[in-house]
Amino acid sequence: MRYALKIEYDGTPFCGWQRQNGQPSVQQTVEEALRRLEPDAPGIGAAGRTDTGVHATAQVAHCDLAKPWEPFRLMEALNYHLKPAPVAVVDAAPVDDGFHARFSAMGRRYLFRLIARRAPVTHDAGRVWQVRNALDLAPMQEAARHLIGLHDFTTFRSTMCQANSPVKTLDRLDIEARDYPHGTEFRFHLAARSFLHNQVRSIVGTLERVGAGAWHPDQVRTALEAADRAACGPVCPPQGLYLCGVVYDPDPFATA
């Protein structure tokens, strides 16, 4: 039987989602927990291959198990065997054999957290990107509007990206600011059917330059139209990035 798993993890100690020889990965950690339940359980697939240091609040994977499991008991059993790794199965649901966590997905949502403050972060260390300079929200929002819609995103694509085409539709790019006594947190909300490798981090790193006053908002449009990786701003670090949603129709967890 096939099951969909919704998985939350802190990406700090991992080389990313995908299994790699000699390095700890989220995929390997979950597969080892599954094989404590069924030693012959096959490998699992996921909706997105998050990079080193990237987190997730709602990664989705599918697994095949020989015996039927009540979803709650499967979730509880896996979480028992996942300890003490910073990985948790937060939901589980039976799905038909045609369901594939990656290829059945109709959309993905990411959150990027950026904190502008002078003092080092403590509670959020490793979970946000901290910059020491103040940022202006309005210019970043203006620049972000140039990126919404169907575009050739070559400028914001890693040179190692394996996607067949750089043309993607960015459905959402919203930025909100939350002021605190000692700084401001900026949250970037992005949604698309799929993303290119390093696309989100390239976009956020470029928009940070706009917020800092180093770029004019119209320069983001110029960089996009250049379709040249050299025109991109700096790529921001991974620790502020979260995979926070995967869209399916029907939603396998709606009645789980």
The architecture in CATH of the region 2-104 reads 2-Layer Sandwich (3.30)
Residue with tokens 């990406």: 11
One fold for 2-104 and 107-244: yes
Whether residue 91 lies in the annotated active site? no
> What DSSP string runs through 126-193?
TTSEEESS---HHHHHHHHGGGSEEEE-GGGS-TT---S-SEEEEEEEEEEEEEETTEEEEEEEEEES
pLDDT digits (tens, 9 = 90+) for 182-224: 999 999 999 999 999 999 999 999 999 999 999 999 999 999 9
Mean model confidence pLDDT for the chain: 96
How far apart are alpha carbons 58 and 246 in whole angstroms? 7
Q: How confident is the model at residue 151 (pLDDT cuts 50, 70, 90)?
A: very high
The CATH number corresponding to 107-244 among 3.30.70.660, 3.20.20.210, 3.40.50.300, 3.40.50.2300 equals 3.30.70.660
Instruction: Summarize pLDDT for 14-30 with one digit per residue, the tens.
Output: 999 999 999 999 999 99
- Kindly tell me if the per-residue pLDDT of 256 is higher than 60: no
Instruction: Domain ranges for the chain, please list them.
Output: 2-104, 107-244
Catalytic residue among 10, 51, 124, 249: 51
Residue 136: count other Cβ atoms within 10 Å of its Cβ: 13
What predicted TM-score, i.e. pTM, was given to this entire model? 0.96
pLDDT band at 232 (very low <50, low <70, confident <90, very high): very high
